[in-house]
Structure 1
Amino acid sequence: MLRALTAVGLVGVGLGLSVPAQAAKIVFFGQGSVDASQGALVRNAAASIGSPFRFTFAFDTAALNFLEGDDQDAFYELPVTDFSATIGDYAFTLSEAPGFEPLLAFSRGFTFFGQPFSEPVLVTTFNFASARSTGSSIETPFATGVGAFGALAINAFFRAENGQSGLGLDELKDPRNADQLSFSYATLDPKTRQRGTIVGAYSGSYSTSAVPEPATWAMMLLGLGMVGGAVRYRRRTTTTTYA
């Protein structure tokens, strides 16, 4: 299961479940390149070292569904639209299987950032599962058997000044302010149980637009109705007469 698979490696998180003051549509996009590959699986030419990595997707913060959380992690179901992700010549296609829905995770942890001492960080991870392969050589960046699926994790690491960052949706920070941006793609051959992983760095950003609340929509519709009524009234009462 993607939820179990992506929870591995997420580092330590106090739970502050809050929702943004106003729902917003976020379009997240970025690009980078493959830095290294690991594991026993043979990597094919579709995603060699140095291959470009590009992605974009959109989601509405009001549509995120909180799944579970504790003092370590918080997980949200992430309905996405306009999804696209490529690694070299490999096009990542989202799985439609139940239990493999996109997932957003917040986590607290520590990292060195190249320093001799560790610092508290907040980790934001977007997790995606690919459709199962049918055996085509370009369906995954690795040579795998039929039925293999891939897991794509897009990470952002932020320094946490006091180590007590909340784990609610208000912690969706602009990735341009992150101290480290990384991605990983992993797949597991269902027959041999051998794994292959690709890792790299990216630069990313997102744009936001406010999503009107239901009451706002009602006011807008009422306002449009009043404007329409005024136009019809003016058409009825404005006549032309001739002497």
Structure 2
Amino acid sequence: MINHLYAAAAALLTVSVASSAQAATDYNSTPASGWHYGSGNDYAPANTAVLTTVTPYNSDQLYLRWHKTGQVAPASDSNGVYSFALGTTPISFDWGFTKASAPASALITITNLGTAQSVSYDPLFVGNDNYTAVGPYSTTMQNSARLTFAFLSGVGFNPNINDTYRVRLDVNGLYGGTQSLSVDAQIGTGVPEPATWALMLVGFGAAGLAARRSTKTVRVLA
């Protein structure tokens, strides 16, 4: 009975902490841990989308950015969209998170907004060369991937076509609960989001209906 009470109290505490967490995303920012993975990839300015979740006890961060491989990340717009000229390749995304609790699980999903093709993978899989920094209160995980990597071929990356690619990072096991962050890479003029396409189609349909009604009215009056 006592064990059940302890479990219930722990569950209530977890819910309370998660519900009191405050999350905010800053674009073209720098993660608290900085970028350190790999060799010679600690670029400045960082131009990173950083989601910070603050709880009564600690804070967590998720962060993402796009850039041409081997070059400094360009600044994004206020919605986390990075723009690249047609023909830019290879293009990489960098991901990372700093957590104040353990253990965590994560999922990365890459979506081609023009074709709806997507690929998901576990960035923390055993054998991956993630950068890991363990301190007394936090653990930092970082890595990157290129759209030209074979395991991402299902996304259908083509640098010579106007398109938009979205990377989304989902992390569980944080003090602030489950958190998600996404940023886009726009190639050329890009493509609208699916929701925008839907609104455009509705608009086209309404315009077509209005045109048919107008034509019918003209015939009746003539």
TM range, normalised to the smaller chain?
under 0.3
TM-score (structure 1 length as normaliser) = 0.25
Pair member with larger Rg: 1
- Larger % of strand: which? 1
User: Which has the larger helix fraction?
Assistant: 2
Structure having greater relative contact order (Cα 8 Å, sep ≥ 6): 1
